[in-house]
Structure 1
């Protein structure tokens, strides 16, 4: 049993500062053993047992490479609902469904280079290309084959819910003669949250009354597009003037624990989580 969630938060932040357990054990031997075991267990439940992407240190040109994604057989089927929901979340976060003036449809998803595993995870199922963006620390996934795009539309129709993305999907549906489906209700078993978090989420800390405090959050241009997280995980949303976006965040122990529990069944694939895990190993 643990008397204070501050111990949980403190271990996280010291892991960021020292990047080694032994540094914490040296400075705080009195409470390290039990609280460290608790912290390790939480993160392993959240991530280690759910990782489906294997990373490689090999590089090719300026583009970081990952090994082949390891996927359950069910994910590889064309009608897998869980992957489709995850894909819709990624597209809602940092993707785009486009229709050129010449009538060519395409899907673009851009992420930071460190999160390239997300794109390979998707490419392994849908096809398409993954290439570095010139002059910026980012990589882009692109799909523009007509048959493949019809497959994407079929997969995410009814799951995409970002305000801008819904309008883009409507245009594609109209162009291809597909009936547009309104977004279906979300639930805590829906990987849409994981997909959105992979692209627009963060795990970090802030200081409150001079003490570090863990928080989990997501951001987007419109408040309506982040309130889904508030509805299911608690917390608050507020406008951030510096980034000209709305941010949702949770700080309370019960809310963070609920997000952890969700992530056990709907794992995330971005480097932000793997980085946090490495700092505690």
Structure 2
């Protein structure tokens, strides 16, 4: 009888131990799953942070390269015209030197930098100077005075007709102050000058229009009334239907802040920059207006 009792007691202890082992094992598995989940989350988070950091760095580098390239083109143009007329050899040599230096600098950041030069082209009056650029845009805002506003269209075959008019307008918070409309009419530039409500003058020109100088084709007097109609300042100069014409322009004066402004576009360049790293490859084509902004 004692042996039977002892055997039953042994069986009870073994059963309890198994249950405890199962509980311990289950708890250990649960803890393991929690730890593994936390570790995976940390790995994913770290990976995302690294990826975002890489993207942010690449955005900074490409933006920096774009700004540097734009400024280099402007400086190259200025260097090539230092003696008056444009010297293409000086222009090209300046850009080649930039390409070599930029390649070395970006290599230190882990990038392969390639720069493909582009010849100078005639500029449209669109925002980026290309035929497919934005037609309606603002050249500059918050202007106090404009001392120089000149437009030249040397090839009238590249100026639209009466249904495709190029417009330069001056506006403020109240609306239109002044506008200049131009279109090709039988081989001449038909010009209409208006204020906020009516036409104040019509003229014809062969190519050159000096608004602030009140001259057409360098010699013919005209009354554009620009200064009188924009007196008081705090206005914007805008282009409408810019793809209707190819030509040159220059706008210069002072902003309401007192800072001078210059926007001059005689040519348009359209270089390509390419930046490659172990993680990505970025190619960007970037139109550059020449001489550019704030170039005296």
Please give the TM-score of this superposition, normalised by the length of structure 2. Answer: 0.28
Determine which structure has more spread, i.e. the larger CA radius of gyration: 2
Structure number with the higher helix fraction is 1
Please give the TM-score of this superposition, normalised by the length of structure 1. Answer: 0.29
